[in-house]
Amino acid sequence: MTTRWFGERVLRLEDERFLRGTGLYTDDVGESALEGCFVRSPYAHARITAIDASAAKAVPGVVAVYTAADLPFGKTDLPLLIPHPSLTHGRTQKCLAYEVVRYVGEAVAFVVAESRYVAEDAADQVLVEYEPLPVVITPETAERAEQLVHADVPGNLAAELRQESGDVEVELAKAPHNLRLRLRFERGGAHPLEARAVWARWHEREGKLTVYDSTQSPTSIRGGLAMLFGLAETSVEVIAPDVGGGFGPKIMLFYPDELLVPFAAMQLGRPVKWTEDRREHFTAVNQERGQVHEVRVGYDRDGRLLALDVDFIHDAGAYTPYGIILPIITAAQVPGPYRVPSYRVRFRALYTNATPTSPYRGAGRPHACFVMERTLDAIARDLGLERAEVRRRNLLQPGDFPHEVGVGWQDGGRVVYDSGNYPALLETTLKHLGPKPPGEHVGLGLAMYVEGTGVGPYEGAHVQVLVNGQVVASTGIPTQGQGHQTVFAQVVADELGVRPEQVAVTTGDTRRFQWGVGTFASRAAVTAGNAMAVAARNVALKARRIAAEHLEVDPEDLELADGMVRVKGAPDRGLPLAAVAILSNPLRYAFGGGAEIATPFQARPRPGPPLPEGEAPGLEATGYYSPPLGSTWAAGCHAAWVAIDPDTYRLRFLKYVVTHDCGRVINPLVLEGQIQGGVAQGIGGAFYERLAYDSDGQLRNASFMEFLMPYATEVPEVEIHHQETPSPLNPLGIKGAGEAGTIPVGAMVASAIEDALGVRITEMPLSPLKLFELSRARC
């Protein structure tokens, strides 16, 4: 096997349609669909006493108005993904609110009209009477439990989980040095530039439902819709077409619209679509990151960690549709790349009257990293040591793998790091960062992280060589800009001896591949990438088998290269793949690019039936990859020189260096894009973006004018270095990389600002105002 394309900076194959504006995003599907608009709760907590939709229904152009009472599934709780024994009080919302609303933006009614303009006019006419209830908005308030989000959930406590490895109390008591920290992280949001959208059509005569959905998991949506509507799964097709960024929150089962749009399309007999606008995205789409951590750490006089105790509360929002995966990940990832001999972690997931939470790029890790890195910086300060030196003394060594952390992982297994070289990450980064640039108020930021990536249970792929020699490949996972159509083509091209541009990859379309899980948790390359390799290898095996018969050689003597199946060492003896594709299907006629070459072989008589026993027609195969429990563990180090203007408290990155290890790299170009983009999101989350709720549960900055996503002027160029420590856990030796860039940025920025200004940073995000106040308090 050659690995010619794997590792190459192949320019992306999907670019042209995006550059020409001919991509297909869900709102582009069109086809004269009716358009939906939600009536959403303006209250964070209220009882609905009456809904009157009559005026709305009378607006010309309005086709239907649905409330909970109008839905056959109106009183059904939506599913709870990933149940967990510690989630003793899981709660999910109803498709449309029934009796009570628990966050601003919760869907109350759904208007369908001839256009979105008319639907919005009518939505203003739906009269809903609310009786406001007390609002619980921060995790600290939720913990005090003076008011309840759910009347039947005492203490607002959705879940509590304790884990311990070693005897932390004993070790803390014995430790020569102890520190306590309280570290707070506020809510943030992903805000892909394409908000969410769903389009559906019911084909009455075929009894078939077609749904376009900007989801990160079309296979799950399909299964859920089939169940809900009593249809065979084979009668439901869900397509995630081009998706304008995901970053986590586009995966749910379900957002209300994912049920209502297909439901309305079936009811009304016309295509229906709903395209979320930015204002509703601010409150209707899941958020993340609100946590408060109490940390106790014990260490020796050299700064070596002895025991770590982390007790944190997690702001779950109003419901737990996504279980408690976020705090589980935080709990698992606090120790990071360091040796923590005794580790205890407890979390409590608490309900608040805010939008529910689910993973957003980083998913529990930015806060975990913040906790560990802030702790190490505090130790360095306490002992008067260099921050890099404290890390050096605590890092796991290359010989320490596999390393068991002693806590549970999101896949239900244990956290076991498979491979890595953490000291090299640190030294490479510091070397490239270089000495401190001149200037006042310049600080060094430094942070390291690990990331469990590529969780199971599995993904699959189908690869087929068409009779014209074109290769098509498909997988169940969808894509939101990660370059899957290029990197998967590279993997397949290597196995089949073709060029990547000959491989057309389809993702996230259940018509092409119906099995799979989804694009999240930095898992696509690991799971679907390896599945692509397995499927393509199966195709290559079959190609050699068929060609061997016709060329009358041993399959072992054949290789796939340059679009041919040919005899090793005798490249003139062989068949084009197109011809093999024709031969794979024993028709009595032939068409396609290899027809002339294939015809003489086809005409030759052979013993047995035309299709040999056990053989299937077509040069195609399916492959699956299911990783072992425990994930592949990527890691990295970020460091920067950061200047703070002591007058305006603006932040400027003078130099930013990342060294990243995600095992073998399929395409460095694509990987660097993921890291640079991840860092930009991290910078946004560290210094510009926050979701500012007031005590009434109103989001005070629900627009792009006030939720400050960075422009080009706020983001530096990141210098990226690759380190490749192959994962022993999968055939390609790869680890995920999608979220990595974002994870350590908050911790790194905190470290830099502390160094530059001499103030203590214990919270995220920061802002000039926050730095002004911290500086004033210090004076």
Partner 1 sequence: MKPPPFEYHAPSTVAEALDLLATLEDAKVLAGGQSLIPLLNFRLASPAHLVDINGIAELDYIQERDGGVAIGAGARQSDVEEDKTVRRICPLLAQALGQVAHPVIRNRGTVCGSLAHADPAAELPAVLLAAGGEVVARSVRGERRIAAEDFFKGVFDSALRPDELLVEAWFPATPGPVALVEESRRHGDFALAGAVRSGDRLALFGVAPTPVLADPADPTRGLTPSGDLEATPAFRLHLVEVLVRKAFAS
Partner 2 sequence: MIRVNGVERPGPTSVRLLLSDYVRHELGLTGTHVGCEHGVCGCCTVLLDGRPVRSCLMLAVQAGRHEVTTIEGLAGEGELHPIQRAFHECHALQCGFCTPGFVLAVAGLLAKHPHPSETEIDEGISGNLCRCTGYASIRRAVQRAAELTG
Q: How far is the CB of 713 from partner 2 (least distance, A)?
A: 5
> How far is the C-alpha of 364 from the C-alpha of 332, rounded, in Å?
9
433, 655 Cβ separation under 8 angstroms: yes
Q: Report helix, strand or coil for 433.
A: helix
Q: Which of residues 635-654 bind partner 2 (CB under 8 A)?
A: none
Interaction between residue 769 and partner 1 (CB under 8 A): yes
**Residue 261 amino acid letter:** V
SS3 category, 365 = helix
Using CB under 8 A, which of 15, 554, 773, 778 touches partner 1?
A: 773
3-state secondary structure at position 600:
helix
Nearest CB to partner 2, comparing residues 194 and 754: 194
How far apart are CB 769 and partner 1 at their closest, in Å? Answer: 5
Compute, in degrees rounded to 10, the torsion defined by CA atoms 312, 283, 478, 227: 90
Question: Using CB under 8 A, which residues numbered 245 to 274 contact partner 2?
Answer: 245, 247
What backbone phi and psi angles, to 5 degrees, belong to 668? Answer: -60, -35
Among 11, 52, 88, 117, binds partner 1 (CB under 8 A): 117
Beta-carbon count within 10 A of 384 CB: 7
Q: Which residues partner with 348 through β-bridges?
A: 160, 313
> Look-up: residue for tokens 């000291």?
423
Question: Which backbone phi and psi does 753 adopt, to 5 degrees?
Answer: -65, -40
Answer yes or no whether residue 341 interacts with partner 2 by CB under 8 A.
Answer: no
Of residues 180-199, those binding partner 2 (CB under 8 A): 190-195
User: Which of 2, 83, 88, 117: binder of partner 2 (CB under 8 A)?
Assistant: 117
Those residues with Cβ within 8 angstroms of residue 117's Cβ, 6 or more apart along the chain or in another chain: none
Minimum gap (Å) between residue 656 Cβ and partner 2: 10
Interatomic CA distance for residues 325 and 777, integer angstroms: 37
Choose the stretch contacting partner 1; rule: CB under 8 A; options: 170-178, 417-425, 508-516, 697-705. Answer: 697-705
Closest CB to partner 1 among 164 and 714?
Answer: 714
Binders in 36-65 for partner 2, by CB under 8 A: none
Is residue 21 within the footprint of partner 2 (CB under 8 A)?
A: yes
Q: Which of residues 356-395 bind partner 1 (CB under 8 A)?
A: none
Is residue 700 within the footprint of partner 1 (CB under 8 A)? yes
Q: Which stretch binds partner 2 (CB under 8 A): 443-451, 477-485, 553-561, 633-641?
A: 477-485
Q: How far apart are CA 211 and CA 33, in angstroms?
A: 12
Sign of CA dihedral 572, 574, 575, 577: negative
138 binds partner 2 (CB under 8 A): no
Structure tokens given for 109: 């009614």
Q: Among 10-18, 123-131, 156-164, 530-538, which window interacts with partner 2 (CB under 8 A)? A: 10-18
Q: What single letter denotes the amino acid at residue 471? A: V
Residues 671-730 touching partner 2, rule: CB under 8 A, are 672-673, 676-681, 703-705, 709, 711-713, 715-718
Helix, strand, coil shares of the chain as percentages rounded to 5?
A: 30, 25, 40
* CB burial readout 691-705, b (16+ within 10 A) else e: bebeeebbbeebeee
Q: Which stretch binds partner 1 (CB under 8 A): 457-465, 669-677, 741-749, 769-777?
A: 769-777
Query: Among residues 200, 271, 276, 275, which one has the least CA distance to residue 231?
Result: 200
Q: 496-509 burial, b for 16+ CB within 10 Å, e for fewer?
A: bbbbbebbebbbbb
- If the CB atoms of residues 116 and 523 are measured against partner 2, the closer one turns out to be 116
Q: Which is nearer to partner 2, 20 or 588 (CB)?
A: 20
Nearest CB to partner 1, comparing residues 555 and 710: 710
**Would you call 197 helix, strand, or coil by DSSP?**
strand
Residue among 72, 588, 713, 779 that touches partner 1 (CB under 8 A): 713
- How far apart are the C-alpha atoms of 128 and 731, rounded to whole Å? 57
Stretch that binds partner 1, among 112-120, 222-230, 251-259, 431-439 (CB under 8 A): 112-120
When CB distances are held under 5 to 8 angstroms depending on the partner's kind, the choice from partner 1, partner 2, none that residue 673 binds is: partner 2
Report residue 703 as tokens: 């627009």
Q: Which residues contribute to the site for partner 1 (CB under 8 A)?
A: 116-117, 120-121, 124, 277-279, 647-648, 650, 688, 692, 700-701, 703, 705-706, 708, 710-711, 713-714, 767-769, 772-773, 776
Q: Which residues contribute to the site for partner 2 (CB under 8 A)?
A: 11-12, 14-25, 27-28, 30, 116-117, 190-195, 242-245, 247, 275, 277-278, 480-483, 669-670, 672-673, 676-681, 703-705, 709, 711-713, 715-718, 741
